[in-house]
Amino acid sequence: MSNKFVQKGISEIQKYAKALLGNKNYVQKKLAQDPNYFTKLAQGQSPKYLLIGCSDSRAPPNELTETEPGEIFIHRNIANVVNITDLNLNCVVQYAVEHLKVHNIIIMGHTYCGGVKAAMQQDSVGGLLDLWLNNIKHVYEKNQHIVNQFENENDRVACLSGLNVREQVLNMWKNPIVQKSWEIGHPVMVHGWLLRVETGYIEELQVDENIPESLSDVFRLHFKSAQQAAQNQQSNQQLNIPTSNSQKFQQMQNKLVTEFLKHSNHSQDCNHDMVNKISGALQDDPHFKKENK
């Protein structure tokens, strides 16, 4: 056995040991901040987001967003693909939406993505990877006129990464689990993010927020179990109550802005007092109560 081989083996073992040592340091830091941190964490999870990201080691969701364990439910695969026949992904989506009751699904891609770059080339990467990358090749095929206008390869990869995120957002809207959630009165918003690896910043991509209302009839599904929800929706329409998620959010935001501007004129108020005043004004508004009960 050569010395070079032995040295390589020792180096790899040291890297592995470093990860376990890092875990011990992490636990000690958390316990120093809160002795009951892990005890409370073991009591359950109530994440506010489901994030579907790329498996790339440069795109860690919690670290990038400064969130703690328990705040983001995460699924990752090569090039953040939302494949409608992917049982693994769909189990994650169903659990997040139906059991954890998340209201926000985030599809996060990133620049310098190896999967996206490979999908733009004709060289085989081998076996299952070629099949998987076909998901992105379809996006590239539809958008070559946009992607190929960039001379720099990294710019082309960044462009296709953003277009791929948009395509996966559309795929998520077509997902029966998400559609059923909307029909039974649990609206789920789907967002598209692009991480700029070269800067560390996340770019929120502009995706049509009215997609649930404007989804093609080809993909729109109706569920028997949602008949009662549909009847309730019809009753809300008769009462002139907004039924779309975007309408409800917009009305709530308009009220918040109005109240904020009203109370912000009093520069003496601290933030806490202002929040209490705005909250009280909204709670006393009967129309607000009716819309958001």
Q: Active-site residue 208, yes or no?
A: no
Residue in 34, 58, 222, 273 annotated catalytic: 58
159 annotated ligand binder: no
Residue in 75, 113, 156, 191 annotated catalytic: 113
Q: Active-site residue 130, yes or no?
A: no
Q: Active-site residue 91, yes or no?
A: no
Q: What is the pLDDT of residues 191-225, one digit of tens each?
A: 999 999 999 999 999 887 667 777 788 888 888 76
- Which among 105, 125, 103, 128 is positioned nearest to 116, based on CA atoms? 125
Rounded Cα distance, 208 and 188, in Å:
14
Q: What is the pLDDT of residues 253-270, one digit of tens each?
A: 566 666 666 666 554 555
Q: Length of the chain, please?
A: 293
103 annotated ligand binder: no
Q: Does this model's pTM top 0.85? A: no
Rounded Cα distance, 114 and 123, in Å:
13
DSSP state, residue 36: T
Rounded Cα distance, 91 and 104, in Å:
16
Residue 278 predicted with pLDDT over 90: no
54 annotated ligand binder: yes
Q: Active-site residue 110, yes or no?
A: yes
269 annotated ligand binder: no
